[in-house]
Amino acid sequence: MRRLLLPVALLAAIPADAAAEAIARARVVMDAPQVRLADLFDNPGPNGGRILGPSPAPGQRYVVPVAQLAAIARANGLTLAGGGPTLVERPGRPIAREEAEAALRQALAAAGAAIGAEARLELQPFTPPTVPLGATPQLVVEDLAWDQASGRFAATLTAIAAGEQPARARLAGRLNDLVAVPVTVRRLPAGTPVTASDVRIVRLAPDRVPADAVLDPAELGGQVLRRALPPGVPIGQAELGGRPLVVKDQPVVMAIEIPGLVVTAQGRALEHGARGDTVQVLNIASRAVVEATVVGPGRVRVTPGSLPVSPPADRRLANRRAEPTR
């Protein structure tokens, strides 16, 4: 809050004749850009319409001290009979963020930015300009600086209302043109072939999209994941292991290579696998589950001497039957 110093010339403009008594008001709420004599005093006399000076800026206030009120009264043929100091305030409204963003979008588009309806403006905190209540100001973006590579910008937002001094605020931030990208709809374990039903399209800020992210769901095409992924994340090319050469629950040829001899057996894949992946395979003949390496379509290689990862199914069943009943 500050004290008002009205021009000295106005204080001596009118000689004091018969001094009528006037009472200074304690508080004045202005809706005009100038303060008049009748705004400050009750019983202002014939000079009530005289302009004394500017009102506070919208949203601001100041105080007229008693000594200055007495001087103003004398200069206008009045005697200050009481009251004061006087608080003079003027209501205002700050420009809404949405209004500032709309003006900024237009300015960026005029500067050549490819700014779509879903592009996101990240504005740094700023103090918006304040305009009179009920005013519909013209918003002008001045001194715009925009870097296309980084999307960063800086500018001055000017609010112009009729009869008022322009109100300005500095704007800075970044323009993010959102990227449409497929993200997982649920947790996907490692080895899962990813199809279009496993993802949905969302729009993300560029800094949230990996450089190698798959942007077209058709590129997934059943490729298996090298690692498990949580829900709601993009899928990078590095996380895809190619299309499976071995499909879960489908028959495979198991090859056991020993020096000078290759022994083959029929098996059933218990996991999906791309070339080079290690998968579990059920040996149809022995019912043992072993680990094998995918070497081609429907073909796996079993290392000689590999131990079963679980007992054969027939042996497990026999063990259960042999257990005594308690």
Using CB atoms within 10 Å of the CB of residue 192, give its burial: 0 to 12 exposed, 13 to 18 middle, 19+ buried.
Answer: buried
Q: Is the pLDDT of residue 1 over 50?
A: no
pLDDT (0 to 100) of residue 306: 63
Mean pLDDT for 91-106 is 90
What tens digit of pLDDT does each residue of 142-155 get?
999 988 777 889 99
> Is the distance from CB of 47 to CB of 70 less than 8 angstroms?
no
Q: Is the pLDDT of residue 227 over 50?
A: yes
CA distance 91 to 56: 9
What tens digit of pLDDT does each residue of 107-157 get?
888 888 777 666 778 888 888 999 998 888 999 999 999 887 778 899 999
> Is the distance from CB of 52 to CB of 40 less than 8 angstroms?
yes
Q: Is the pLDDT of residue 317 over 80?
A: no
CATH of 251-315, one of 3.30.43.10, 3.20.20.10, 2.60.40.2470, 2.30.30.760: 2.30.30.760
CA distance 299 to 281: 11
Q: What is the token pair recorded at 184?
A: 């997982």
163 or 98, greater pLDDT? 98
pLDDT (0 to 100) of residue 320: 43
DSSP classification of residue 198: G
> Is the distance from CB of 307 to CB of 299 less than 8 angstroms?
no
One DSSP character per residue, 103-156 reads HHHHHHHHTT----TT-EEEEPP----EEETT--PEEEEEEEEE-TTT-EEEEE
pLDDT (0 to 100) of residue 180: 85
Q: What share of the chain is helix, strand, coil (3-state, %, to 5)?
A: 15, 40, 45
CA distance 253 to 255: 6
Q: Is the pLDDT of residue 54 over 60?
A: yes
Q: Which amino acid does the sequence have at 307?
A: L
pLDDT, mean over the chain: 83
324 or 97, greater pLDDT? 97
pLDDT (0 to 100) of residue 165: 86
Specify the 3-state DSSP secondary structure of 253.
Answer: strand
* Band of pLDDT at residue 186, cut at 50, 70 and 90: very high
Place of tokens 């709601």: 232
313 or 299, greater pLDDT? 299
CB atoms within 10 A of CB 239: 22
CA distance 64 to 84: 8
The domain spans of the chain are: 2-90, 94-176, 185-238, 251-315
Place of tokens 């100001």: 137
Share of the chain above pLDDT 90, in %: 33
CATH of 2-90, one of 3.30.1370, 2.60.40, 2.60.480, 2.40.160: 2.60.480
Terminal-to-terminal C-alpha distance of the chain: 90
